[in-house]
Amino acid sequence: MATNAQYLASLVNSSGNINIPVSNGGVVFNNTNTTASPTSTTQNDYETGTWTPTDQSGASLSFTTNYAYYTKIGNMVYCSCAVTYPSTASGAQALISVPFSVNSSAQTYGGFTRYTTYSSNIQFLINVTPASVAPYLLSTGLTNANLSGKRLDFVAVYQASF
Amino acid sequence: MTISSSTVIDKTEVLQDGTIQVRQAEIITKDGVEIARNFHRWVRHPGDTDAQSDPAPVPAIANAVWTSDVVSVYQAQVASQAKV
């Protein structure tokens, strides 16, 4: 039977990276008594990349995207993007997709505007279905028509559903 | 020394409501050995016709998962949530 040191060494590949061999396995921090996995003390995911923000309002709009980046650490998603709305008269609530599904019991996250050609600073509410951000001015949602031809650069933070 | 790049859909995740999360990997190799992998993601919700233009296996997954019931339930969820 392998010793702990031998087992740990077997997880290191030829590039020097530590690989978790079991799907959804992770690092369990020793700050609770539970040994179940995954738990709220398990760090089981890290990923970074780009994504394609798409219109989720139902109006089938095509955005011009300057950039869109994300980093997911555990179940926390940090994403930022710069999109420009096309010319539109759609009165539907504006909704922009996010890279991962949204935890339905953790809707108290949101986002803020880094830069916009809209006349006011916009905040972003996290929407569960469809997984998206919704631009708001205080308690009022913005429609696609409100954002017609406008550029939105924003940062959003939320909990993913897994 | 040969540097080459290829893209592949390396992960698809089908959620309970039928949403498909797609991850595409750009794989950079040097003399046949992978030296870097960059990810790009997008999401296809039930009924999204753009999924048919995605690389394999996304269209096949969409066709298999998105029954008329799945699409109608999803659209009802959207209608109940997305409000101005």
pLDDT digits (tens, 9 = 90+) for B5-23: 999 999 999 999 999 999 9
User: Is A128 close to B81, i.e. CB distance below 8 A?
Assistant: yes
Compare all CA atoms of chain B with the CA of A139 and give the residue at the minimum distance: B84
| Least reliable range by pLDDT among A23-37, A56-70, A133-147 | A23-37
Statement to judge: residues A85 and A39 lie in one domain: no
Task: Give A52→chain B minimum CA distance, Å.
Answer: 5
- Which positions ≥6 away from B40 have C-beta within 8 Å? A49, A50, A51, A52, B23, B24, B25, B26
Statement to judge: residues A10 and A68 lie in one domain: no
Contact with chain B for residue A117, Cβ under 8 A: no
Output the pLDDT for position A120: 92
* Nearest CB partner across the interface for B81, out of A70, A129, A161: A129
Q: Examine the pLDDT at A30 and tell me if it is beyond 70.
A: no
* pLDDT-based confidence at residue A50 (cuts at 50, 70, 90): very high
Statement to judge: residues A114 and A76 lie in one domain: yes
* pLDDT-based confidence at residue A34 (cuts at 50, 70, 90): low
Q: Examine the pLDDT at B56 and tell me if it is beyond 90.
A: yes
The 10 Å CB-count burial string (b at 16+, else e) for B44-53 is bbbbbeebee
Statement to judge: residues A117 and A139 lie in one domain: yes
Domain tally for chain A?
Answer: 2
Asked if residues B6 and B58 have their Cβ atoms less than 8 Å apart, the reply is: no
User: Tokens standing for A142?
Assistant: 């913005």
Statement to judge: residues A64 and A97 lie in one domain: yes
Statement to judge: residues A27 and A101 lie in one domain: no
Output the pLDDT for position B40: 96
Statement to judge: residues A80 and A34 lie in one domain: no
- Which positions ≥6 away from A43 have C-beta within 8 Å? A26, A27, A28, A29, A73, A74
Residue B71 to residue B18: CA distance in whole angstroms:
8
C-alpha distances in angstroms, B15 versus A84, B33, B54?
A: 29, 33, 18
* pLDDT-based confidence at residue A1 (cuts at 50, 70, 90): low
Statement to judge: residues A32 and A68 lie in one domain: no
- Which positions ≥6 away from A55 have C-beta within 8 Å? A61, A62, A63, A95, A96, A97, A144
Statement to judge: residues A25 and A62 lie in one domain: no
Residue of A15, A19, A23, A51 to mutate, testing the B interface (most B Cβ within 10 Å of its Cβ): A51
pTM of the model: 0.84
User: Is B78 close to A143, i.e. CB distance below 8 A?
Assistant: no
B chain contacts of residue A51, beta-carbon cutoff 8 Å: 40-42
Statement to judge: residues A55 and A31 lie in one domain: no
Statement to judge: residues A9 and A67 lie in one domain: no
Supply the range of the domain harboring residue A38.
Answer: 1-44
Statement to judge: residues A34 and A80 lie in one domain: no
Output the pLDDT for position A68: 97
